[in-house]
Structure 1
Amino acid sequence: MKNTLPQLRSDKGLSQEALAEAVGVSRQTIISIEKGRFDPSLPLAFRLAELFDCTIEDIFTPEAQATNQSASA
């Protein structure tokens, strides 16, 4: 799944470690999500959206949808 987590985290001035602590996961989990190797659970996705004051859809986009949006642009 594509995500905007690195940009959101950077905009808020958070390190991967600080973000991990804020949402109750390990730094390795944040790294894996940012690299698209791991899709978060729904509760984790909600915690991230709440932290960044946005919707889950603002953070995460399914691969197929991201590819289709790129092709139409």
Structure 2
Amino acid sequence: MMAALRVVDLVSDDQDKRYEPAGRMAAAIIKVTQEQGACLPQDLNQRGFTPDEVVKHWHLANSLAAVELKLSRQP
């Protein structure tokens, strides 16, 4: 079975991990959104992200999550 494509994988590679924290956060945002219908920054604290990580990565992660959710809904 093939793993789901993550948008962050399109802009990074095995050696360049600078977007990986945002990618992990995007995955958490997607999971929370699927479970609750939406995800707020403070929801990520319950998923193991510190307030500082949320401040640093929220905007990029939320954008990545929005794109991935949109792509997953396409036929």
Q: TM-score scaled to structure 1, two decimals?
A: 0.32
Judging by fraction of residues, say which structure has more strand: 1
